[in-house]
Each structure stands twice: as C-alpha cells, then as structure tokens.
Structure 1
Amino acid sequence: MKGFDEIRETSGKVFFPTYNRYAAAMERGEGAYLFDTEGKRYLDFLSGIGVMNLGHAHPEIAEAICEQAKGLVHVSNLYFMPPQTELADQLVRHSSLDRVFFCNSGAEANEAAIKLARKYARETYGDNRFEIITLEDSFHGRTLATVSATGQEKVKKGFAPLLDGFTHVPAGDFGVLERAVSERTCAIMMEPILGEGGAVVLPNRYLRDVRHLCSDRDIVLIMDEIQVGMGRTGKLFAHQWAEIEPDVMTLAKALGGGLPLGAMLAKEKYAETLGAGSHGSTFGGNPVACRAGLVVMKHVTDETFLGLVLEMGDLIRARFNEMAARFGFIEEVRGRGLIVGIKLSVPCKEMVAKAFERGLLINCTQESVLRMLPPLIISEKEVEEMFKILEDIFEEV
C-alpha cells in the first residue's frame, strides 16, 4: 500500500485540478467513521456529501453488492433486469409518482427532468413555452444545462454561453416567483431544502403556494430531492413535510448506498412524453447499484428508523441553539432532520480545516454556513464527540 505522500504526489500529476482536497487518503470506513492510509480516524459528519446515509461498510449493502456482482454486473437497458424493476417498483410505491427513469448521478437526473419538462411543454403548447424558473443559491448539477439551472454565479463562471431559458428568483418569496411566471414558463424547479445554498428550509406554505400555482397554470413542478431525499429529513422525501405532490422528482446521492445511481420520477401525464429513443443511459439502473438501492430503501422507509433521524436532528439543533447564547457569532441554526446548517457571522473555512485536523469532517457553504450531513445511523455518543470538537474550535474564535 502506498503512503499518503506518494498518493498525493501521483494524484497531482494525473488528475485535473478540479478539487481542493484535504491532506488525507481515505482507505476504509466503518459506520460513522473513516480511516486514512496513516491510520487516523475521522468522524464523518458529511457522509460523502449526503451519500452514505446508512454509514460506511454497511454489512447488508456489502453483501448485496457482492452477491449481485457474482451473477450479473451489467447488461444494458435493451433487456429487463430484476433488481432494477424491483427498485423502480419500490420508488413508485413509496412516492406519489408513477414512472421511473434511472441514470447515474444527480446532474443526469436533473438533466432528464429539464428535457422532460421542455418536451412536454413543446408538444402541448408549442415552441414558445420553454422557460424554467429556479431559485437563487440553488444547486442542480455540473452539466451545461444544470449549471444553467443553478442559481449561483460561481458555478457558471467561464462556461458562457449557457443555455437560454432559465430565470432565477429569491428563495421563499412567492410574490416574486409568481410575477416571474409568464406564458413561456414550462417548469419550476427547486430543492425543498437548499443544500449548497446553506441548508435553507423552504416554508411549507411557500411550497404549497408553488404547487397551487403550477396546477393552475399547467407548469411542471420539479422537486430536486438529490441531497435531502432518502430519509435525510426524517421523511422519505423532504417535500412530504409540506404535504404536496410534485409532477417530477429527482433522486441520487444516497439512493445507491454509495454506488452511482440517480433517478427521475414523474407522473404518468408527463412520463408518457419520453417515448422509446427519446432519452437513455448506458449504465443507468445498473443491477449492482440497484441491489444496493434496495437495501437503502428497506431502511429509509422504516418509520422507526425515520423517527430516530428526527430525534438526532432535533438534538443537534437544540444543542447549537443553546450554544448560540455562548458564541455570539452563531446567527441561525437551520435544517430539518439530519441536514444541519449553522449560519455564522464570520467565515467558516478555517473552522472546517481545524475540524479536519482534529478528526471531524464537516464543510462550509456560502462562506459562512457550517453544513452537516451525518449518516442517518449516527448515535448520541457520536453527536457528543462532534460537539466536543466543535466547541473547542468555537472557543478559539
């Protein structure tokens, strides 16, 4: 096994410089912990950015992957695959949607949703109905279409000309959104909780108003559940807190239990727009990834499991709210379930670096929001470990 210095040196020669990596090469994981090549242990409060909802090296996922890999790894979507069909059936049964399209990532799922909305509108209303409204500070992916949809200029920089037909409005302001709608609007696309945008929870009333607007105007409502779906908020999907039904929903991250797997779900009315040959994916719905996804679904549809997610999330936010009285730079505690955002009055990049040095993995969004996405299997003892590290760091500010 190569040592870290050799790994870093080789990586610097062979990779595109697209990532600012921390000084660790992760070798293995176990539950809520990661271990690097030097033997150092880290408490993972990021879960691979919302991917490892059941924790690292989950025995059921490992067993399912190994068993499937011994039989069939890949065949292509020219044929039916039992694990793929079973997972799609589970997603339909546990959602308000009717059809599933599998892909490999969140960006691909959102790309598919954009194509679906525009194709439906074009076939139903003609060529001039193509605009999609998204939110400022949103994040929908890194492809050209999803960069165009994303409401953050830093993501768009250097990639002009972007795709036409995207309008960004402030998150949570229904009046502004309503005024932005025109005869050219084909879809409204949003995350029920803005993850990269700072763990901002959209109010239930706002989501209901958007749902009514879309229903009245036959505008496709797309819910991007890529970061906050699959049990992260204490419900299977975050939009369920508002008791609404989207027309289209996108999933990825935690869906595959650590393997690349994304999905677009849609109501029958819209799904029938994408006929044979209109969209596709070579690897989408890979049987190994789908077997892992079935294990994930087993756990995140369990009400007792989801209750524990809520319990741990409430505990974490309550503690941070208590800490706000001691640390004046804590401005707001955000989130729902186990997506947690701590809005600070100071930049938090240095805090994240200190946490890494002390064996805690978190990250910084919007320059001053500490974001946490711990595994949904996190224990109270591990929560206490996180607070001990962070309180020491806060004392140094």
Structure 2
Amino acid sequence: MTDTSAIARDHRLPKTYAAELLVIDHGSGVYLYDTAGKRYLDMGAGIAVNALGYGRDDLADIAAAQMRKLIHISNLYTTEPTVRLARALTDAQIGAFNPDFSAVHFGNSGAEANEAALKYARAYATRTRGPGHHKLLSLLGGFHGRTTGALALTHTPSYREPFEPLMPGVDYLPLNDVEALESRMSPSYAGVIVEPVQGEGGLRRLSPEFAAALNRLCRTHDVVLIADEVQSGLGRTGRLFGSESVGLEPDIVTLSKPIAGGLPLSATLVTRRINDALALGDHGSTFGGGPVTTAVALRVWEEISSEEFLSEVRRRAEHLDRRLRAMAAADPAVGEPLGLGLLRGLPILAAAEQQKTVMASLIATARENGLL
C-alpha cells in the first residue's frame, strides 16, 4: 500500500487513535515529511520524546552497531551499556541536592516507571511500618500513565471511567494547596507522586512553597516522595531534572520519553534508603534496559546532561518566553504563558462550551500550514 490517503483511511489501528492518521515518511532536525513530501515543523516531538531531533546519524550508528553485536539478553544477565547507563543515572544530583540514588530499574515506558515507583513505595511502607500503610496521594490535573495502576493516580474522569473500579487507596489534592496537604498528610500514606510541571494538566508547575511542604511533610511522616519526570525531566525545564527547577527533593524519580532518543526506555531512580524495599524477584521487565536502548541512551545522556546543552536550553527558553508573552499581549483571546523552560504553552481564552471546537480548528489550521 503506497497511496497516502489509502493508508490514512485504512490503517487497521485501534479506534483509540485518530480515525484518519497523518502518514509520516521521515524526519530531519525539527522537521517531519509526509509521504507526499510536505514538510511540517514538529512542535510535538513525538509527545515530548524526540528532544534531540530527527535524522541523528550518530544515534542510528550506535543502535546498528549494538544490534549487530547483541540485541536482547533479558534481565537474567546484564550488558555493559546497561551497567554504564545505570551508573551514570545514579551518580546524578538534583542541583545542590544529592538524593543518593543507589539503583535504577529500567522499563519501556513512563507508565511502567511509575508502576515500579508505586511498588517501591508500598513495599517500603510495609517493611518499615507494617501492613495498612498503603495509601497513595496524587494531585488533581496530574497524569501518570495508562496502565491501571498508573491510571488510578490520574484523576481525569474521561481517562478513568471506562475502566473503573481502578486500584483503591488513592486520594487527590489540588495543586499548590499547602493547607490541604498539611491537613491530609499522615503515616497512612505509602507515597506521594507529583509532576514538577504538569503536562496533561495544563503546564502548571509546583510552587516553591508547595514543593518545600512536600519535602518537609514526606520526611516527617516517612512517606516516599515520587517525582514523575517522564515529561518534565532530562533538560526540558532548563535543568537536568524538573525537580531542581521547582525545589523538589524526591526519594524516587521516574524518567522516560526523551531518554533514548526515540527508542522505548524508562528508568525508575531509587534512593539508598528505599532500594532495599524490593527483594529478588519482586519486580522485573523482560525488555527493560536492553543493550540497544541503553547504548543509545548513553549517548543521549552524555549530550543532555552537559552544562553546555542545558545552558542552551535556558537561553532558548528565555527567547521563547519573550515571544510567547508578546503573542499574549497582542491577542485578547490568548492568556499568559504557562509552563517552564521549553515545556510551554498558551491558554486559549474561549468559553468552556467552545473549547473543543476552537482547539480542533486551531490544530487543523496549523497542520494545513505545516505546523504540528
């Protein structure tokens, strides 16, 4: 099948995706090209995955070389790229805060990384305080994945309702409500999971006051603090970890999306005091941390973690901020910019009943003009 319109109409993919898909042929830099040769400026980056752009020969060469050497071995054994990446990740600090990471569990997606974090939190609470301390706390507007455990942490009704009842024992708080956090927090909770900058939740960031309260209360009650950095981590805010940008001091950090330059990989970084909560056989992943993805991820990490790269992100973020503020000032239908670093957006000030129509029209017009 080579006709683009035929592929788009008869793609045989599930109904959970668009009825008619744009058929992409290849990419280069920040641009994508469809099968008809039309060029698009890609502002979505594969849902925040392709942070280093398309057509990277160095990443392709690393993947090809490793594939010729060894593609898969499972976690019954290990490989040099896997060990080297684990060392690099666990040696990282969150700005001036040294979390003392001692282990990393590799998976294939952000949802898997968050599922591993939940296991660590609940196992730690059971080991240190006994059964019954299993509850989890999440924030309204948060998004943590599509698997049933991760979905239970997501409050958005449209995501949850088709699959309820979901995992019990999850409570929700408003973002940045310190008073609500102080009144709710107790040793009955095993863990709290937050995004430094909410992605699906409208690019709202944790306030310094709320982050400080989370740090303090989680330490006081020995509750595991989980930073879901699947979208806001790895340089996107201008710092290596989004937690640094907002002042969060987590026990567990989850990473995915850009970590392997477009290949499926996730990482759950665990501090030393939490690491012993899981014993041999308590968790695993057949494909997580394979030699091909970790070999590529080492090159991505080398680039993203460099101060030169992060400084350039901050420089471009300042330019983007100025341009977004100018757009907001010039158009009464556009609100003040949201987000942080290069994870930004503009709210469209339409009436609630018109939001979907306005956004659909905006997206379609942008696509027609070569902007995704």
Normalised by the length of structure 2, the TM-score is: 0.94
Aligned to 2:204: 200
Following superposition, which runs of at least 4 residues in structure 1 exceed 4 angstroms of deviation? Answer: none
Q: Distance in 2 between matches of 1:40 and 1:237?
A: 36
Q: Secondary structure at the match of 1:193?
A: coil
Aligned to 1:115: 119
**Given residue 361 of structure 2, which amino acid in structure 1 is its aligned partner?**
E
Task: State the Cα distance separating 1:23 from its structure 2 match.
Answer: 4.3
Q: Judging changes above 3 Å, is the alpha-carbon distance between structure 1 residues 22 and 177 closer, same or farther for their aligned structure 2 residues? A: farther
Mapped contact 1:208–1:242 kept (Cα < 8 A): no
Task: Note the residue ranges of structure 2 that are not aligned, 5 or more in a row.
Answer: 94-98
Q: Judging changes above 3 Å, is the alpha-carbon distance between structure 1 residues 23 and 79 closer, same or farther for their aligned structure 2 residues? A: closer
Q: Secondary structure at the match of 1:264?
A: strand
Aligned to 1:369: none
**Which digits, 9 at most, give the CA deviation of each residue in 1:93-140, with x for residues without a partner?**
123322100000000000011111011111211221011110001000
Q: Distance in 2 between matches of 1:21 and 1:224?
A: 31
1:9 aligns with 2:9: yes
**Which digits, 9 at most, give the CA deviation of each residue in 1:302-349, with x for residues without a partner?**
111111111112211211211222200112201111101211212323
Q: Secondary structure at the match of 1:200?
A: coil
1:329 aligns with 2:329: no
1:264 aligns with 2:268: yes
Mapped contact 1:110–1:146 kept (Cα < 8 A): yes
Q: Distance in 1 between matches of 2:363 and 2:13?
A: 24
**Given residue 190 of structure 2, which amino acid in structure 1 is its aligned partner?**
C
Q: Secondary structure at the match of 2:347?
A: strand
Aligned to 1:105: 109
Mapped contact 1:135–1:171 kept (Cα < 8 A): yes
Mapped contact 2:265–2:288 kept (Cα < 8 A): yes
Q: Percent identity?
A: 38
Q: Distance in 1 between matches of 2:15 and 2:128?
A: 44
Instruction: Trace 1:1-397 onto structure 2 (pairs within 5 A).
Output: 2-11=2-11, 14-20=12-18, 23-95=21-93, 96=99, 97-346=101-350, 347=355, 348-361=359-372
* Aligned length, in residue pairs: 359
**Given residue 2 of structure 2, which amino acid in structure 1 is its aligned partner?**
K
Q: Judging changes above 3 Å, is the alpha-carbon distance between structure 1 residues 90 and 21 closer, same or farther for their aligned structure 2 residues? A: farther
Q: Distance in 1 between matches of 2:283 and 2:252?
A: 16
Mapped contact 1:105–1:252 kept (Cα < 8 A): yes
Normalised by the length of structure 1, the TM-score is: 0.88
Mapped contact 2:178–2:209 kept (Cα < 8 A): no
Task: State the Cα distance separating 1:207 from its structure 2 match.
Answer: 0.8
Task: Note the residue ranges of structure 1 that are not aligned, 5 or more in a row.
Answer: 362-397
Mapped contact 2:185–2:217 kept (Cα < 8 A): no
Task: State the Cα distance separating 1:182 from its structure 2 match.
Answer: 2.9
Q: Distance in 2 between matches of 1:164 and 1:142?
A: 16
Task: State the Cα distance separating 1:20 from its structure 2 match.
Answer: 1.8
Task: State the Cα distance separating 1:242 from its structure 2 match.
Answer: 3.4
Q: Distance in 1 between matches of 2:202 and 2:300?
A: 26
Q: Distance in 2 between matches of 1:323 and 1:190?
A: 30
**Which digits, 9 at most, give the CA deviation of each residue in 1:220-277, with x for residues without a partner?**
0000000011111111110012344310110110011100001101111111111110
Mapped contact 1:130–1:185 kept (Cα < 8 A): yes
Task: State the Cα distance separating 1:191 from its structure 2 match.
Answer: 0.2
**Cα-Cα RMSD:** 1.3
Q: Judging changes above 3 Å, is the alpha-carbon distance between structure 1 residues 323 and 10 closer, same or farther for their aligned structure 2 residues? A: closer
Q: Secondary structure at the match of 1:332?
A: coil
Aligned to 1:386: none
Q: Distance in 2 between matches of 1:204 and 1:32?
A: 33
Mapped contact 1:332–1:344 kept (Cα < 8 A): no
**Which digits, 9 at most, give the CA deviation of each residue in 1:275-322, with x for residues without a partner?**
110000000001111111011101111111111111112211211211
**Given residue 78 of structure 1, which amino acid in structure 2 is its aligned partner?**
L
Task: State the Cα distance separating 1:189 from its structure 2 match.
Answer: 0.4
Task: State the Cα distance separating 1:22 from its structure 2 match.
Answer: 5.7
**Given residue 25 of structure 1, which amino acid in structure 2 is its aligned partner?**
V
Q: Distance in 2 between matches of 1:149 and 1:192?
A: 15
